[in-house]
């Protein structure tokens, strides 16, 4: 059973980072841990960068995860993984959705989308941090909606870190309305399944 975890959820508007943060807050409460969730989002409705900090421990004083202190960084989009990778702890876990959302600046020709983001992050991590890329958007569509990418990522993290699955499933039923529960439970299952066949992400 975990006693402390610093998480960062990074994505763009519409990918469900805020809902995922809320769900992790429910999980922490069910684990009898103190929790603080902090959201930072600008043009979230227009595909802008969105980041959610989740800190859970017996006692949490600050909601912010400082640079180099994130045990887990869940990046729902490749560029966001690069943008927030400085937050990852030296021996942390970075899970990246293999998905690219082209920013407005790139669409307008004012910037270029970086190449080989995943490979570069894996090389930079070396043997200390663990970096894995997942087809989370594809799995979310398989579950029934691209908006369920957040639950795919949460499911992968839960399985990889060997966290208590029943508590996460209870939290899903608590956070989502009845008509969306089956879809999000399925997305969670698909994310979990893709990790269970590989080594755990022990941190």
Q: Where are the domains of the chain?
A: 5-102+113-196
pLDDT attached to residue 104: 80
CA-CA distance, 160 to 196, in Å (whole number)? 7
pLDDT of residue 110: 85
Could you give the dihedral angle defined by the CA atoms of residues 175, 93, 119 and 43, in that order, rounded to the nearest 10 degrees? 40
pLDDT, position 171: 98
Q: Which residues, listed in sequence order, are joined to residue 75 by a DSSP beta bridge?
A: 10, 96
Q: At a CB cut-off of 8 Å and minimum separation 6, what does 55 contact? A: 5, 6, 7, 35, 36, 62, 63, 64, 65
Rounded to whole angstroms, the Cα distance separating 65 from 67 reads 7
Retrieve residue 89's tokens: 């702890």
Q: CA dihedral in degrees (194, 130, 76, 107; nearest 10)?
A: -120
Task: Look at residue 42 in the predicted model and tell me its pLDDT.
Answer: 59
pLDDT at position 196 is 80
Per-residue pLDDT of the chain (203 residues; tens, 9 = 90+): 678 999 999 999 888 999 999 999 999 999 999 999 998 865 545 568 899 999 999 999 999 999 999 999 999 999 999 999 999 999 999 999 999 988 888 888 888 889 999 999 988 887 788 899 999 999 999 999 999 999 999 999 999 999 999 999 999 999 999 999 999 999 999 999 998 876 545 43
Helices (H), 31-148: 78-84, 104-107, 117-125, 136-143
- The top-level CATH class assigned to 5-102+113-196 is alpha beta
What's residue 116's pLDDT?
93
pTM of the model: 0.91
Task: Give the chain's end-to-end CA distance (angstroms, integer).
Answer: 13
Which pLDDT belongs to residue 44?
45
């Amino acid at each position: 059973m975990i006693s402390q975890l610093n998480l960062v959820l990074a994505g763009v508007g519409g990918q469900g980072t805020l809902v995922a943060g809320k769900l992790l807050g429910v999980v922490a409460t069910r684990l009898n841990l103190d929790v603080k969730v902090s959201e930072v989002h600008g043009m979230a409705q227009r595909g802008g960068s969105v980041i959610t900090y989740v800190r859970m421990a017996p006692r949490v004083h600050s909601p912010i995860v400082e640079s180099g202190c994130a045990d887990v960084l869940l990046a729902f989009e490749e560029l966001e993984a690069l943008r927030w990778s400085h937050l990852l702890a030296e021996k942390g876990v970075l899970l990246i959705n293999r998905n690219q959302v082209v920013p407005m600046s790139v669409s307008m020709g004012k910037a270029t989308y970086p190449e080989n983001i995943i490979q570069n992050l894996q090389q930079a991590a070396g043997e200390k941090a663990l970096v894995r890329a997942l087809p989370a958007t594809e799995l979310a569509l398989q579950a029934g909606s691209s908006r369920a990418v957040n639950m795919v990522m949460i499911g992968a993290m839960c399985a990889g870190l060997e966290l208590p699955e029943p508590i996460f499933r209870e939290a899903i039923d608590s956070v989502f309305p009845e008509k969306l529960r089956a879809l999000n439970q399925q997305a969670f299952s698909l994310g979990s399944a893709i990790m269970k066949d590989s080594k755990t992400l022990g941190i």
